[in-house]
Amino acid sequence: MSDGAQEGSAGRLPARGRVPAQASKSALSWLTGRPIAHRGLHNPAQGIVENTASAALAAIAGRYAIEADLQVSADGEAMVHHDDKLGRLTDGVGALCNMPAAALKRVAFRATADRMMALGDLLDLAAGRVTLVLDLKSRFDGDLRLAARTAHVLAPYRGPVAVMSFDPALIIEMHRLSPNIVCGIVAGRRCPPHVWKLLTPAQRLDLTFLLHGWKSRPAFLAYRVIDLAAVTPRTARLVFGLPLLAWTVRSAQDREQAARLADQMIFEGFEA
CATH label of the domain that carries residue 240: 3.20.20.190
Asked if residue 14 belongs to a domain, the reply is no
* pLDDT mean over 163-178: 97
- Three-state secondary structure call for residue 156: coil
Residue of 199 and 123 predicted with greater confidence: 123
Q: Is 105 left (phi over 0), alpha (psi -120 to 50) or beta?
A: alpha
250 assigned to some structural domain: yes
> Rounded to two decimals, what is the model's pTM?
0.92
- For residue 13, pLDDT beyond 90: no
Q: Are 185 and 167 in contact (CB under 8 A)?
A: no
Residue 7 lies in a domain: no
The predicted-structure confidence for 40-87, as pLDDT tens digits, reads as follows 999 999 999 999 999 999 999 999 999 999 999 999 999 999 999 999
Provide the 10 A C-beta neighbour count for residue 95.
14
Q: What does the pLDDT read at residue 20? A: 37
pLDDT of residue 23: 44
* pLDDT computed for residue 6 by the predictor: 39
In a domain, 166, yes or no: yes
pLDDT at 17 over 70: no
d(CA 272, CA 267) in angstroms, rounded, equals 8
pLDDT tens across 88-106, in order? 999 999 999 999 999 999 9
pLDDT band at 193 (very low <50, low <70, confident <90, very high): confident
Q: Is residue 272 part of a domain?
A: no
DSSP category for residue 73: -
The predicted pLDDT at position 42 comes to 98
Is residue 218 in a domain?
A: yes
Split into its structural domains, the chain has a count of 1
What average pLDDT does the chain have? 91
Q: CA nearest 73: which of 102, 50, 53?
A: 102
pLDDT score, position 272: 87
Segments forming the whole domain that contains residue 231? 21-267
Task: Give yes or no for a contact between 37 and 18, defined as CB atoms under 8 angstroms apart.
Answer: no
Quote the percentage of the chain above a pLDDT of 70: 91
pLDDT confidence tier of residue 25, bands split at 50, 70 and 90: confident
Whole-angstrom distance, CA of residue 221 vs CA of residue 185: 5
6 occurs within a structural domain:
no
Whether pLDDT at 11 is above 70: no
pLDDT at 69: 98
4 inside domain = no
- For the segment 136-157, the average pLDDT, to the nearest whole number, is 97
Question: Helices H, strands E: what count in the chain?
Answer: 12, 10
